[in-house]
Structure 1
Amino acid sequence: MLRLDGRVALITGLGQTTEEGWGIGAAIATKLAQQGAIIFGGNRTLIAAQRTKARIEKEGGVCNVLETDVTDSTSVESLVDACMQRYGRIDILVNNVGKSEPGCPANMSEEVWDQQVDLNLKSVYLTGHFVLPIMEKQQTGGSIVNVSSIAGLRYIGKPQVAYSATKAAIMQFTKTTAVIYAEKKVRLNTVVPGLIYTPYTRALARRYSPEGNEAEYMRMRDPQVPMRRMGDAWDVANAALFLVSDEAGYITGQNIVVDGGITSFTGRA
């Protein structure tokens, strides 16, 4: 079950910022490779992508990476073209880029707002713009997974209006596009992570917690979840794997929320 032998997976944001731990993009790329997929990745920082490539190849998988600016149409087109020139098809697309900056409309600068919209949302449009025409021409179609966040479903305790707005928009973008392409054998779904423990989370803790107290920041997050713990990158990767597999062949336009129950929870009495 859940085998992806020989399928070509184009993944953005698969870079691993440190040698320790697992980011969501790196875990998704590795999980798909473990199931037989050929990985072709684009990442803003090439050295970060090469860390993931090394991990995949160490396990015997196949991974190619390119430096890619997912907010720039020329860069995204070059990534897609390079993948097609090498493999002649794209069976899977995973959009995993994202960044959160604090602020409400009154105090967030226009520049920061535009950066958030471009990185979190425009990137999903750009990859789809170039990949969807390829998938609809393939007899086997294709599968797209966009990574959103529960910040697009509810307020999660931080004023991050641009991040929340763009993550909500990703879910509706996915639903609408899924209906348009349903007859063309192209499926689109969204994975919606909750509080996930990753190297990026640790970096946010150092940045935003009082005096950079990472441990205290993490202790604050765990009790917010009904399961009393944060998830990890593999929880998200397993959901993505299911959605791109044949076993999910009748699923399109849906959100899979991976959050330990937090969006179903109104607080402890």
Structure 2
Amino acid sequence: MGRLDGKVALITGGASVPGLGSATAQRFAEEGAIVFITDRDGDGAERVAADIRAAGGKAEALPHDVVSEADWDRVIGAIEAGHGRLDILVNNAGIAVLRMLEEFTTADWKLQNSVNLDSVFYGTQRAVKLMRKVGEGGSIINISSVAGLFGVQGCSAYAAAKGGVRLFSKVVALECAKDGIRCNSVHPGMILTNMQGVAQEDNADNFDSTMALVPMGYMGSPLDIANMNLFLASDEARYITGGEFVVDGGMAAQ
């Protein structure tokens, strides 16, 4: 039996390959979940879903702008209409606008927080409502970052948003524990994704110094994050809520 047999999962920001969302969707489907992959790039999300279906998994794709409350209502409504439930939400969609403080614009700041923090609130609020309606609990996994745990130069806005995700997740865990709804945050370090490549180009002056902080000496794979997400989504983590799970090659241990 798969570790997620019959569970319905929604993963945002799943179009990018290599990416944390697409890797998580693949792992969830391999373990028996019915996976909804959403992204502003609807065609890209469909390509990931098609690959999963071709491998024998169950996956659907939906276009989704995570900063739109109306889009969240549409996506959650479609999942409820089709399956009557949502067991797992992975708030993965995010962007990395990296600049030194004096180079940031107000627009940069607002965009970063809108995509990386506001969307987590929108999705979590709606997922909790449906999970409570069904009455069988659930797992919410919010993707934060090691930048939400300690300071990294060039990451002021990103860190503010990801730090917000960390503490938001703890409060949700407390408010939802009685309903059997678990909420945890995952904190990736330097992971080899498309977004990491963009961030590297965007903040090249600080990239080498940041990589020097990784004791294991190399970037992780999206699969490393996907496997952590799988554990937290599964019944193996049934007594785990309000936690923060660091997958970073040792960066936060220093």
TM-score, normalised on structure 1? 0.89
Q: Deviations over 1:68-103 (max 9, x none)?
A: 110010011101101111111100000001111123
Q: Which residue, out of 181, 184, 187, partners 2:182?
A: 187
- In 2, are the aligned partners of 1:2 and 1:246 still within 8 Å (CA)? no
1:76 and 1:62 mapped to 2: Cα distance?
Answer: 21
Q: Which residue of 2 aligns with 1:213?
A: none
Q: Which residue, out of 115, 121, 135, partners 1:139?
A: 135
Aligned residues: 254
| Structure 2 spans left out of the alignment, 5+ residues | none
Name the aligned partner's letter for residue 192 of structure 1.
H
Q: Which residue of 2 aligns with 1:228?
A: 217
> Pairwise mapping of residues 230-249 of structure 1 onto structure 2 (< 5 A)?
230-249=219-238
- In 2, are the aligned partners of 1:11 and 1:41 still within 8 Å (CA)? yes
Name the aligned partner's letter for residue 15 of structure 2.
G
- In 1, are the aligned partners of 2:96 and 2:199 still within 8 Å (CA)? no
Cα gap change, 1:57/1:220 in structure 2, threshold over 3 Å: closer, same or farther?
farther
Q: Deviations over 1:91-122 (max 9, x none)?
A: 00000011111235544221111111110000
CA drift of 1:198 comes to: 1.3
Q: Which residue of 2 aligns with 1:8?
A: 8
Q: Which residue, out of 156, 161, 171, partners 1:161?
A: 156
- In 1, are the aligned partners of 2:140 and 2:183 still within 8 Å (CA)? yes
Name the aligned partner's letter for residue 56 of structure 1.
I
CA drift of 1:221 comes to: 5.5
Percent same amino acid at aligned positions? 38
Q: Which residue of 2 aligns with 1:174?
A: 169
- In 2, are the aligned partners of 1:193 and 1:257 still within 8 Å (CA)? yes
1:203 and 1:51 mapped to 2: Cα distance?
Answer: 21
| Structure 1 spans left out of the alignment, 5+ residues | 211-216
- In 2, are the aligned partners of 1:2 and 1:242 still within 8 Å (CA)? no
TM-score, normalised on structure 2? 0.94
Specify the SS of the correspondent of 1:159.
coil
CA drift of 1:139 comes to: 3.1
1:230 and 1:150 mapped to 2: Cα distance?
Answer: 13
CA drift of 1:23 comes to: 0.6
Q: Which residue, out of 187, 193, 196, partners 1:198?
A: 193
Name the aligned partner's letter for residue 3 of structure 2.
R
Query: What is the RMSD of the two structures over their aligned residues, measured on CA atoms?
Result: 1.8
2:12 and 2:226 mapped to 1: Cα distance?
Answer: 14
Q: Deviations over 1:121-174 (max 9, x none)?
A: 000010112111111122321110000000111123x31211100000001000
Name the aligned partner's letter for residue 175 of structure 1.
K
1:139 and 1:121 mapped to 2: Cα distance?
Answer: 27
2:117 and 2:174 mapped to 1: Cα distance?
Answer: 19
Q: Which residue of 1 aligns with 2:53?
A: 57
- In 2, are the aligned partners of 1:221 and 1:230 still within 8 Å (CA)? no
CA drift of 1:219 comes to: 6.8
Moved runs in structure 1, 4+ residues, more than 4 A? 217-222
- In 2, are the aligned partners of 1:14 and 1:43 still within 8 Å (CA)? yes
Q: Which residue of 2 aligns with 1:253?
A: 242
- In 1, are the aligned partners of 2:8 and 2:88 still within 8 Å (CA)? yes
Cα gap change, 1:221/1:59 in structure 2, threshold over 3 Å: closer, same or farther?
farther
Specify the SS of the correspondent of 1:231.
coil
2:173 and 2:155 mapped to 1: Cα distance?
Answer: 27
